[in-house]
Amino acid sequence: MANFLPKTVLGKWSVALIVIFFLLLAVLKIFVSGQQASDTVKLIALGIAAAAAGGAFVTGIVGVIKSKENTFPVFLSTVTGFVVLGFILPSIAGWVVGYFEGPTPLPQERQAFAGVWRSESGFQLDIKAEGTANIKQIANHESSDCKALNIGVAPQEVKGMRVKFTGGDNLEVVIPSLYGKVYHINRAPFVEDGRTKMVLNGVTFVKE
């Protein structure tokens, strides 16, 4: 057992930092699921987690090379830190680029999509002409529309999502590098029985 535990200060720091990284991820998941966190808060949390993973990698690799640390937990924390950095750093970079690029206003031929849309199951999609959207997801996860409309990893309400029209018949709403969803436009906005409607992913929305 003694040979299994880190023998050097750097090794102990590496293992401790990777544990802190996973604890931060757990806290972030609870925080995002439980309430509406701003994009800035999510970026800061991801940044701290990335710093912990980076610290685990650096202290681990220095411990292995310089201090001849050769215990399994340190090897594991070092490799984990390296792999995690490969995933998190591109996400943070993409978020920063997307944040500073700003939204793209809806093109003239897509202006009919602007407005507050609601499905019978309670999903609400508020599309702004400036190219952003706020969504309120279906609370009843037993609803048949839940899988078609909800963004599983996102909180109940999401504000400031970017709106993109891709492939000619797809509507994409996204928080850059965090989460998003592509909705297939089965029918663009049309008028029926005096109400403006559209169909996304097979679900009918009515404009309020």
Radius of gyration of the chain from its Cα atoms, rounded to whole angstroms:
22
Residues 92, 14 within the same domain: yes
160: phi then psi, degrees, rounded to nearest 5: 75, 25
Instruction: Tell me the pLDDT tens digit for each residue of 153-199.
Output: 677 888 889 999 988 899 999 887 677 899 999 999 999 999 999 99
The verdict on residue 31 lying in a domain is: yes
Structural contact between residues 14 and 56, judged by C-beta atoms closer than 8 angstroms: yes
Query: d(Cα 53, Cα 56) in Å, to the nearest integer?
Result: 5
How many Å separate Cα 67 from the centre of its chain? Answer: 38
Residues 155, 179 within the same domain: yes
Residues 41, 132 within the same domain: no
Domain stops at, among 42, 66, 101: 101
* Its pTM surpasses 0.75: no
Residues in contact with 119: Cβ distance below 8 Å, sequence separation at least 6, in sequence order: 138, 145, 149, 203, 204, 205, 206
For residue 22, what are the domain limits? 9-101
Q: What is the sign of the dihedral through the CA atoms of 95, 82, 79 and 52?
A: negative
The verdict on residue 177 lying in a domain is: yes
Q: Where does residue 118 rank: exposed (0-12), middle (13-18), buried (19+ CB within 10 A)?
A: middle
For position 187, what pLDDT does the model report? 96
Residues 60, 113 within the same domain: no
The verdict on residue 3 lying in a domain is: no
Structural contact between residues 147 and 135, judged by C-beta atoms closer than 8 angstroms: no
**Residue ranges in the chain whose pLDDT is less than 70:** 1-3, 30-43, 91-92, 94-101, 153, 177
Instruction: Extract the tokens encoding 160.
Output: 């400031």
For position 1, what pLDDT does the model report? 44
The verdict on residue 53 lying in a domain is: yes
Residues 119, 139 within the same domain: yes
Residues 88, 68 within the same domain: yes
Residues 43, 118 within the same domain: no
Query: d(Cα 174, Cα 104) in Å, to the nearest integer?
Result: 12
For position 197, what pLDDT does the model report? 97
